[in-house]
A and B are shown apart, each in its own frame.
Chain A
Amino acid sequence: MSADLAFAPVADLARMIARKEVSPVEVVRVHLERIAALDATLRAYITVCDEAALAAARAAESALAAGRPVGALHGVPVALKDLYDTAGVRTTGGSKILADRVPEADATVVRRLKEAGAIVLGKLHMVEFAYGPEGLNAHHGAPRNPWDAAAARMPGGSSSGSGVAVAAGLAPAALGSDTGGSIRIPASLCGITGLKPTYGRVSRAGVLPLAWSMDHVGPMTRTVADSALLLRVMAGYDPADATTSVLPVPDYLAALSGDVKGLRVGLLRSFFLESATPEVRAAVETAAKALEKAGAILDEVALPAVAHVGAASYAVVASEALAYHTGWLKSRPTDYDPEVRKRLQLGAFITGAHYVRGQQVRALVRNEVDAALARRDVLLAPATPLTAPRLDERQTTLGDGPSEVRGALIRLTRPFNFSGHPACAVPCGFSTGGLPIGMQLVGRPFDEATVLRAADAYQRLTDWHTRRPVLA
């Protein structure tokens, strides 16, 4: 029963709790027990809110007993990447600089989750200030990928703890953030679902920034349906974030029909499939065929401008990150992880003209993705071109030649941070070494419903998302 509850989908937990088939106290306790048993090895959590979570669970139980109306996530535990402000609970950004920072208010999305009845289990490990895709952290140590914890493989980052916690049954759902792929990379490497919504769909208010114009926040879950459920709660206009849209938030769960007949899917071969390792390429091609067999209309499409995203997004991210960190970089330089400090320092050698060039390329990429989606409903590509590398691995070989691991990890996700389109990563296979392989589906702006419908339909055709890592 304990393992079943730990790996039960959010939707099932919410339903069972609402029907009083299971107590929210039991659900929270099961997760706290797993955290106590496994997290010394996996290192998913920076802060566990055990007493507060149990108190909230008891209150949730009382509300049900009293017959009070409850929200969509009533009694369901969730965990948060440690860059979401939480009132009264420290929010470190994975850093030494903010090690003792305790916000007075919740981030908007945290408040919305709580209003829907969710219970915060704790705060999750992350790359310092979200600046890196491997999942490394010099201050707190790196979380371990649960699919091969013994070999110390990367969980992916920067939402490293979020990926590990959800994959290992230490939380039914987590929130991550994604500036170059930081939701989809750990989702891909840890074998879970990760949704980066459209820029402007979900409020970033109260979330520590890396690069304002590239940052997206979203859910990380084991099923697409659970991401749909969380997105419905999280999304919508927020006066505290001027970039949020006033478009109404649809019922994403209702969009999950399981039907992909006539859905037009554009397979991204050039740059995307071509750079993947043979195992990743084969898994994504097989997934494309599965969708086609289910009635989708498959073709191939190219996005030539993405070849320039590396340079252009570097100009944008490094400039924005330096702008945010200038004060601490001057006053507390030695409190940064040296690698993160170096990345920030490089921003000082980027000119305003470079930044604008980057934004020009951004317009090209956005227009190109829009054009590809004018005649298709979704685009399909690997989420990462490789499976989880070892923590000490710095160089790798991709389908198109040697590459630094860091660049390889963000290569296929970053274009859609740059363009702002919604993208959902889901598991689509396992390597011969037993490591998860992830693919991503990309959709039109604010059309998360179609992205989620396609991804959910794929999960109804396959069982990759139901597999669990073997943990000691």
Chain B
Amino acid sequence: MDAVFDLATLRGAARVAGFTWTDEELEALRPVIQASLRLLATLDTLPLDAVEPTTQYRIL
């Protein structure tokens, strides 16, 4: 079941990131945010615990 975020939650998250966006803007963004968070949640299902993240690119 998807988490559903209300405007207050989105407003708070935006502020944590340093932005003050209007409720109108956040309301317009809400379905896209939901979709993007659904997409990102798929990463949590992957067996990645033993995988070292790419932090230094392969420069020769």
Chains A and B form a bound pair: yes
Complex Cα spacing A243 to B60, Å: 9
A-contact bits for B13-41, CB 8 A (1 contact / 0 none) = 11001110100010011001100110110
> Which one of A135-143, A172-180, A253-261, A352-360 is at the B interface?
A352-360
Given A342-B29, A363-B52: A445 touches B42 (CB 8 Å cut-off): no
What A residues does B52 contact at CB under 8 A? 360, 363
**For B28, what are the chain A residues with a Cβ–Cβ distance below 8 Å?**
342
Is A416 positioned at the interface, with any CB of B under 8 Å from its CB?
no
Complex contact B18–A200 (CB within 8 A): no
The segment from A74-82, A265-273, A305-313 that touches chain B is: A305-313
Return the chain A residue nearest B37 by Cβ.
Answer: A349
Contacts of A245 in B (CB 8 A): 59-60
B57 and A363: CB pair below 8 A? no
Whole-angstrom distance between the alpha carbons of A199 and B57 in the complex? 8
Find chain A residues with CB under 8 A from B60 CB. Answer: 200, 245-247, 445-446
The verdict on B46 contacting chain A, using a C-beta distance below 8 Å, is yes
Choice from B10, B36, B40, B51 contacting A363 with Cβ under 8 Å = B51
B51 to chain A, nearest CB (A): 4
Q: Which of B32, B43, B57 contacts A358 (CB 8 A)?
A: B43
Check if B33 sits within 8 Å of A359, measured CB to CB. Answer: no
Task: Give chain A residues whose Cβ lies under 8 Å from the Cβ of B48.
Answer: 357, 360-361, 364
The yes or no answer to A366 lying at the interface (CB within 8 A) is yes
A310-B39, A361-B48 as given contacts; A200 in contact with B59, CB under 8 Å = yes
Name which residue of chain B comes closest to A363, CB basis: B54
A324 on the B face (CB < 8 A): no
Q: Decide if A348 touches B40 in the complex (CB within 8 Å).
A: no
A346 at the interface (CB under 8 A from B): yes
CB-defined contacts of B57 to chain A, threshold 8 Å: 199-200, 213, 243, 420
Q: Which residue in chain A gives the minimum CB-CB distance to B59?
A: A200
Question: A348 is contacted by which of B13, B42, B59 (Cβ under 8 Å)?
Answer: B13
Partner pick for A315 among B29, B33, B40, CB 8 A cutoff: B40
- Are B33 and A200 closer than 8 Å at their CB atoms? no
| In the complex, residue of chain A having the shortest beta-carbon distance to the beta carbon of B5 | A349
Number of interface residues of A (CB under 8 A): 39
B36 CB → nearest A CB, Å: 5
A349 to B32, CA, bound (A): 11
Contact of A308 among B29, B33, B43, B59 (CB under 8 A): B43
Q: Which residue of B lies closest to A349 (CB)?
A: B33
**Which of A349, A361, A362 has the most chain B CB atoms closer than 10 A to its own CB?**
A349
Given known A-B contacts A348-B17, A349-B36, A363-B51, A357 and B43 have beta carbons under 8 A apart: yes
B44 at the interface (CB under 8 A from A): yes
Q: B19–A346 contact, CB under 8 A?
A: no
Q: How far, in Å, is B49 (CB) from chain A's closest CB?
A: 9
Which A residues are CB-close (under 8 A) to B29?
A: 342, 345-346
CB <8 Å contact, B19 and A348:
yes
A445 to B60 alpha-carbon distance, docked (Å): 10
A47 at the A/B interface (Cβ < 8 Å)? Answer: no
Contact B43 A312 (CB under 8 A): yes
Cβ distance A323 to chain B, nearest Cβ, rounded Å: 11
Return chain B residues, CB-CB under 8 Å to A366: 54, 58
| A314 x B19 contact (CB < 8 A) | no
Which B residue sits closest to A242, measured CB to CB?
A: B59
Supplied contacts A361-B43, A362-B53, 5 more A-B pairs, CB within 8 Å: A326-B18, A342-B29, A345-B21, A358-B43, A363-B51
Residues of chain A at the chain B interface (Cβ within 8 Å): 199-200, 213, 243-247, 308, 310-312, 314-315, 318, 322, 326, 329-330, 342, 345-346, 348-350, 354, 356-364, 366, 420, 445-446
Q: Which are the 5 A-B pairs with shortest beta-carbon distances?
A: A359-B53, A348-B17, A357-B43, A360-B48, A362-B54
* 17 contacting pairs across A/B (C-beta < 8 A): A199-B57, A200-B57, A200-B58, A200-B59, A243-B57, A311-B43, A330-B19, A345-B29, A346-B36, A348-B13, A349-B13, A349-B14, A349-B33, A357-B46, A361-B51, A445-B58, A446-B60
Residues of B whose CB lies within 8 Å of any CB of A are 10, 13-14, 17-19, 21, 25, 28-29, 32-33, 36-37, 39-40, 42-44, 46, 48, 51-55, 57-60
